[in-house]
Structure 1
Amino acid sequence: MQFIRRPGVTQSSGNRFEDRQLSKRHTHNGVSSIYWPPATTTKQTHSILHSLRGVKSRYGASHSNLSPILRLSNRGRSQHHEPPITMSHAGKLRITIGLSDSDCRLIKLHQHYLRASLNHCRVDFYNWFREHLGWTEKNGDPLLDGVCESYIGGSYDETFCSIQYNQAIHWHKKGMGAEHALAAQSTLRHLFIDIAQKQGQTDLAKALCRVIDLTQSVQSMVFHLAHTLDRLRRVAEFDLARIQQPCSTDHGDISPSGLKKAYIDHYQWKLRAYALALGEPLDNEKLPMTSDTCALGKWLNTGGLNQIPKDEQDAFLAAHERLHLLGVRILSEAKAKRPFNISDYLMDMEAASEDIIGVLGHRIDCQLRQLAAEDSLTHLGNRRLFERDLEKRVAHAKRSKEGLGLLFIDIDNFKNINDRYGHAVGDEVIRGTARRIVEVLRTADNIYRWGGEEFAALVAVDSRKELTTAAERLRESFTETDHFTTQGLVNITISIGGSYTSPAEKSAPNTLFSLADRSMHQAKRAGRNRVVIAD
């Protein structure tokens, strides 16, 4: 369906000046009314949703009295879930709009006349759809059953708001944009003003205009939620692709799978909640109703909670519990086909979700950075980290005018160990060698698994002699003590090659690397179990 943009109707751009111009009062036949532009920014949506929760200055209620969910969002300080008795959401909107009880009584008083005029009004309204939006019979009825009657019912409660909310969903699904819905309501406003003016009832016209204002406020939520959902899906597509991308090393994918699943499941449920608020049908969702059975709960109960800083744990757990409470309510409303009620929970859900996604996203980033730089077998730094650290340590040594040594360490005849005892024992030997290197060399030194049976160490020393002494001490520790394995004692020796740069020499990282690598191969060729330090 091809919609024609109505002249003079401008969609809110998010620009405050333009929105103020669009929101100004307009006058038709002497009746002043307010045009409510559709919200197009997250801040505007939260403002609309917050108007449903209540505002202290207008309603005389404190923030904590408005919603148990909002109370819980205060960093988990309250665990109370029972909702207090508060003014209905429609009632709060009516006060915001200025639709009074006297307006409702006036509409009811003229209800017989309004009903008699409704058929003519409906015909004119349908003609507008055909002329301005290109609406055809193939598109079906532009208005849901009972929508026209709801305008003149005189009762503007939750049922009325739900009817108008569903009408906006209907238009959205038919391809109408926010500006089209605004133009449609503007047209209906003028039709109502004409009907009231024929009876000389200016007050009635004003009352009907305030009903239109209420309608526009409710319907604008739908179009902004649709805009928000589209934006969230685009963000999620990028973010989830980044999270799901495996972190590959020589030992395969080392991504934090349990944490990733918790993050992805949470994000997907958040998107689903927005979709349900836009009237999308349930697809037999089986959301875990307890916080222990979902992917996040399982991760928390298997050590994940210990990865969260202690001062953030209480708030995180409260946000998690809050999301499950909201999930139960959202699914209940979805099963009852009440999407308007779902929209009431989205701001609370978004606040809790931000707390959770922020913590999980940070943990995933930290783990991926750590795992990408860590050898999974020995938990030493890997080759990537060594290459980065070599550059940094050489630069630091030049700035601080300190000496720096590099050692390459290779397990002698490691292939024979694998062939004789098997790869499992070979892995034990590699882990044992890593522990021995860490024990013998100073704790301030950087030690890495270069790959296979080779290791590297960056050592802060003041001379080649000191570097040679450290290397010999390490070599001797292997000859003096055999290694315990599941297959018994295994004799291990190592060959070490090293290089040194003094403050005066200022060797480049690749020079230091080449000299140490060459020295290690010299040690191997010379008979193994020895140290060679480059001059």
Structure 2
Amino acid sequence: MFQLFHEIPEQHLSFLDKLEMEVFKAQLSERASDFNTALPRWKKQLEITQEDHALLIEGFYPNLFSDVLHDDFYALFYKQAIFWLDSGLSQNKALRLLDFVRAELLKYSDDLDSPALGAALSNFCQIGALTVRLVYDLSSSLEQIKQRSTNEIRRLRNFYDLLAHPAAEDVFDVCFQHQAWKELAFELALGRNADLQAFDPDHLKSRVAEWLEADGKTKIPEREIRQFIQAHEKVHLLGVMAVDASRNSRSKDIIALLNEMERNSQIVMDTLLDILERELVSNVNDDALKGFLNGNLLEIEMERTCAFAKRHDFWLDLIVVGLGDYKESRVALDHIAQAIKLLARTEDMLFYVEEQQVFVILSLGKETEGAHIFANRVFNSIEHDHVVLEDGRSVKIDIPCGALSYWAGLSLPTNDVMEALMHQLHLAESSPKASVKYTVLDVIKHPAQEGRSGSQSQDLEEDADDVWC
């Protein structure tokens, strides 16, 4: 189990110590001016150069002994530690400052000739030091939790981004929303001015609850559903209790509540991450799109391949294959994907762009006709194939196909090259009959050289319309 916080020993001010301080409360309060006089010296010793940098919260010394018998000093030390943390003071300097306070108070006890008061004040300041450690450890632990909470999610997201499959966005969203609520509870428990409006204590109004109500329960193994629901409810309950403890200055309760909240949160996250991993494995084992990269990587690979082509004087061959009238059919998608994989060479890079529902093939060639030839092979291998769709209909698949040969020496922006490629697909889609549309982007036809662009087409009678601009 991940250790959230360093162990902090319990320490309480004894009743005799409290009584001793109560007896001398009036005399100690009278030394406020001496205490304030020492502040500039402490600031210099701590090498704090800002003139307006306050060392202590307003009213620190007058409130230090205001109600010792009822433990008000715990709340004061907690607020002071939060103040130091938020002002950017390091933990070491905060503890050194408490040592200065302790030394100053011991001078006052010497003046009062009371060794018992000196011992009480020393124990008193020790509780302040423990509170500082608590607050700084809480803050450090919050950062660790944020890091740990997102690492596994980011890792799975990266795996999804490598695959030509849509990510399980609903589960990712549930993960992030759950983490955001928990982190907000930590911030509020630390007394920070976080977004209180976003802190809804009702677990039934959370994103997790919405997901469960929709179809979330069907994705969780039946034996784990009850534990998941209970853990999620406890996360909200414990988070609310921790924030309440902070508002009511019960600093001693906060660490235990947050620790238990994180333990239950881990149960929630483990279940959600298991779901993501199962869906990831299912996608990897999917025969249809196995071997296709996610469209998110297309731009990156385009830039890398263009750089290589430019150095070695290759043509960049791009082929785009649409789904035509079968965008709603998984059977048709699988059939087209299999046909492309059978024709692709080892060095060809295959992508599936889920947002646009198109396949893209990226390759290199020494001749301008490479993309055109490959596109025709794909087109001919699929044209008029009979496929039985999900509804039982047997249809002949006709696909629109676009191709482009690009001379990388032009150094065109990737978006411009992709726009030219997609233009060929649009021409193929709008053609009266299924066809391959093809164009060449080279130094002669580039607009920067001649002020115009050119293209070639499989259907010569349509050349006048087949122009990328």
TM-score of Structure 1 vs Structure 2, range by shorter chain: 0.5 to 0.7
User: Quick one: which of 292, 295, 306 aligns to 2:207?
Assistant: 295
* Pairing 1:185-334 to 2, within 5 Å after superposition: 185-236=98-149, 238-245=151-158, 247-248=160-161, 253-330=165-242
Q: CA, structure 1 residues 427+154, in 2 after alignment: closer, same or farther (shift >3 Å)?
A: closer
User: Quick one: which of 286, 290, 309 aligns to 1:383?
Assistant: 290
How many Å separate the matches in 1 of 2:237 and 2:33? 45
Deviations 1:29-51 (A, max 9, x none): xxxxxxxxxxxxx7482634xx7
Q: CA, structure 1 residues 127+146, in 2 after alignment: closer, same or farther (shift >3 Å)?
A: same
Task: Name the amino acid aligned to 2:182.
Answer: K
How many Å separate the matches in 1 of 2:176 and 2:269? 10
2:329 and 2:390 in contact (8 A); partners too: no
2:11 matches 1:97: yes
Deviations 1:345-391 (A, max 9, x none): 311211111111222222212222322332xxxxx464349xxxxxx
2:57 and 2:80 in contact (8 A); partners too: yes
1:126 and 1:142 in contact (8 A); partners too: no
1:276 and 1:339 in contact (8 A); partners too: no
For residue 256 of structure 1, report the CA deviation from its aligned partner. 0.9
For residue 134 of structure 1, report the CA deviation from its aligned partner. 2.1
What residue is the counterpart of 1:138 in the other structure? 52
Q: CA, structure 1 residues 109+342, in 2 after alignment: closer, same or farther (shift >3 Å)?
A: same
Q: CA, structure 1 residues 46+296, in 2 after alignment: closer, same or farther (shift >3 Å)?
A: farther
Task: Name the amino acid aligned to 2:179.
Answer: Y
Larger deviation, residues 128-137 vs 111-120: 128-137
How many Å separate the matches in 1 of 2:289 and 2:331? 18
* Pairing 1:71-82 to 2, within 5 Å after superposition: none
Task: Name the amino acid aligned to 1:308.
Answer: I
Q: CA, structure 1 residues 159+367, in 2 after alignment: closer, same or farther (shift >3 Å)?
A: farther
For residue 102 of structure 1, report the CA deviation from its aligned partner. 1.5
For residue 186 of structure 1, report the CA deviation from its aligned partner. 1.3
Query: Does the residue aligned with 2:123 lie in a helix, a strand or coil?
Result: helix
Structure 1 moving runs of 4+ over 6 Å: none
What residue is the counterpart of 1:423 in the other structure? 326
Deviations 1:412-439 (A, max 9, x none): xxx9xx88xx4268755677x89xxxxx
For residue 159 of structure 1, report the CA deviation from its aligned partner. 3.5
How many Å separate the matches in 1 of 2:329 and 2:45? 81
Q: CA, structure 1 residues 158+275, in 2 after alignment: closer, same or farther (shift >3 Å)?
A: farther
Query: Does the residue aligned with 1:138 lie in a helix, a strand or coil?
Result: coil
Q: CA, structure 1 residues 237+47, in 2 after alignment: closer, same or farther (shift >3 Å)?
A: same
> How many equivalent pairs are there?
324
What residue is the counterpart of 1:88 in the other structure? none
How many Å separate the matches in 1 of 2:64 and 2:132? 14
How many Å separate the matches in 2 of 1:136 and 1:489? 80
Q: CA, structure 1 residues 333+452, in 2 after alignment: closer, same or farther (shift >3 Å)?
A: farther
What residue is the counterpart of 1:463 in the other structure? none
For residue 311 of structure 1, report the CA deviation from its aligned partner. 3.3
Task: Name the amino acid aligned to 1:165.
Answer: Y
Q: CA, structure 1 residues 337+135, in 2 after alignment: closer, same or farther (shift >3 Å)?
A: farther
Deviations 1:464-501 (A, max 9, x none): xxxxxxxxxxxxxxxxx995765855599xxxxxxxxx
Query: Does the residue aligned with 1:273 lie in a helix, a strand or coil?
Result: helix
How many Å separate the matches in 2 of 1:129 and 1:324? 42
1:125 and 1:187 in contact (8 A); partners too: no
Q: Percent identity?
A: 19
Query: Does the residue aligned with 1:254 lie in a helix, a strand or coil?
Result: coil
How many Å separate the matches in 2 of 1:265 and 1:294? 8
What residue is the counterpart of 2:419 in the other structure? none
What residue is the counterpart of 2:60 in the other structure? 147
1:46 and 1:347 in contact (8 A); partners too: no
Larger deviation, residues 287-296 vs 183-192: 287-296
Task: Name the amino acid aligned to 1:110.
Answer: F
How many Å separate the matches in 1 of 2:152 and 2:71? 37
What residue is the counterpart of 1:356 in the other structure? 268
Deviations 1:1-24 (A, max 9, x none): xxxxxxxxxxxxxxxxxxxxxxxx
What residue is the counterpart of 2:7 in the other structure? 47
How many Å separate the matches in 1 of 2:328 and 2:101? 82
Aligned alpha-carbon RMSD (Å): 3.7
1:429 and 1:485 in contact (8 A); partners too: no
Q: CA, structure 1 residues 192+384, in 2 after alignment: closer, same or farther (shift >3 Å)?
A: same
1:383 and 1:450 in contact (8 A); partners too: no
What residue is the counterpart of 1:459 in the other structure? none
Runs of 5+ unmatched residues, structure 2 = 293-320, 344-385, 398-469
How many Å separate the matches in 2 of 1:331 and 1:325? 10
For residue 180 of structure 1, report the CA deviation from its aligned partner. 0.7
Task: Name the amino acid aligned to 1:118.
Answer: A
User: Quick one: which of 282, 302, 325 aligns to 1:370?
Assistant: 282
How many Å separate the matches in 1 of 2:51 and 2:207? 47
For residue 322 of structure 1, report the CA deviation from its aligned partner. 0.7
Q: CA, structure 1 residues 43+488, in 2 after alignment: closer, same or farther (shift >3 Å)?
A: closer
Q: CA, structure 1 residues 197+369, in 2 after alignment: closer, same or farther (shift >3 Å)?
A: same
Query: Does the residue aligned with 2:226 lie in a helix, a strand or coil?
Result: helix
Q: CA, structure 1 residues 314+254, in 2 after alignment: closer, same or farther (shift >3 Å)?
A: same
Q: CA, structure 1 residues 262+46, in 2 after alignment: closer, same or farther (shift >3 Å)?
A: farther
How many Å separate the matches in 2 of 1:314 and 1:106? 53
2:80 matches 1:167: yes
Larger deviation, residues 337-346 vs 130-139: 337-346
Task: Name the amino acid aligned to 1:302.
Answer: A
2:242 and 2:258 in contact (8 A); partners too: no
